[in-house]
Amino acid sequence: MSLVEQWTGIEQSLDPRWEDVLLALTVADEARAIRAAALLAPAGPGRRGTTLRFRAERAGGAVGPEAIRRMLGRVDDEGIDGRLALVASTEEAPPVDVAPSSLAAAWDAAVAALPSDWSDLLCEVELTSTDHLDIAALVLGPINPLRRPGRPGFRFRSARTAGYGAAPGMVRRCLQRLDEGGIPGSVRVLEAMSDSHHAGTQGPVWYVAGKAV
């Protein structure tokens, strides 16, 4: 198998996120190793006996995968047989999900993740400190917050079109006021219903710890 074919096989086996690889080319004797090193000079190979080591970078580097392919093709053209092996590779770090920077942004993200026909939500806003409970209760008044025993936060309901619960726009405005007041926390949807029909009532009821909310 030619060196170009060996490199193609190695490249196809790499993680799609690969950034750079360290390769080792071993040839039959030292004379061939010296000539191969000259042909691979742009990659800056290091030689130890009959083995050459050099790197390839997928993007942004001086020696990319196609440049390696061309250089190995020149080695093939001179009839220098060898074994190309992958010594090591590094990959890009996977993307990290960054939490929304504000309560209003977190609410936008939570609503965007819901089914398009959602109708009723049971939600929770949790604060980072009990010092903010009183002012938060005042700011959140329009969405009828319910204190959570033992935790610095509130539960509330939201209704998209009708029924018991604050409109999603009102929820966002209240959370934005907490942001403007420098009150940190998190907001999450605990329960969601879609396309509910109220049939003369104020909407569905959730029971939490035996109590209707």
* pLDDT reading at 86 higher than 80: yes
How many structural domains are present in the chain?
2
Residue 51 in domain: yes
Amino acid 199: pLDDT:
53
User: pLDDT tier at 191 (50, 70, 90 boundaries)?
Assistant: confident
Amino acid 194: pLDDT:
78
Residue 17 in domain: yes
* pLDDT reading at 149 higher than 90: no
Give the CATH number, domain containing residue 127: 3.30.70
Question: Strand, helix or coil at 6?
Answer: helix
Residue 204 in domain: no
**Containing domain of residue 19, as a range?**
3-91
Tell me the pLDDT of the chain averaged across its residues: 86
177 with 137, same domain? yes
Residue 144 in domain: yes
Of 99-113, 125-139, 161-175, the range with the highest mean pLDDT is 125-139
79 with 110, same domain? no
The fraction of the chain above a pLDDT of 90, given in percent, is 64
The one-letter amino acid at 179: D
Mean pLDDT, rounded, for 64-89: 94
User: pLDDT tier at 98 (50, 70, 90 boundaries)?
Assistant: very low
Mean pLDDT, rounded, for 162-182: 91
Amino acid 176: pLDDT:
95
Question: Strand, helix or coil at 72?
Answer: helix
115 with 68, same domain? no
Q: What is the DSSP string of 109-156?
A: HHHHTS-TTEEEEEEEEEES-GGGHHHHHHHTGGG--EE-TTSSEEEE
153 with 83, same domain? no
36 with 7, same domain? yes
pTM score above 0.85: no
Q: Which residues fall within 8 angstroms of residue 204, CB to CB, at 6 or more apart?
A: 120, 163, 193, 196
Mean pLDDT, rounded, for 91-99: 57
Instruction: Give me the helix-helix angle, 30-39 and 65-77, nearest 10°.
Output: 140
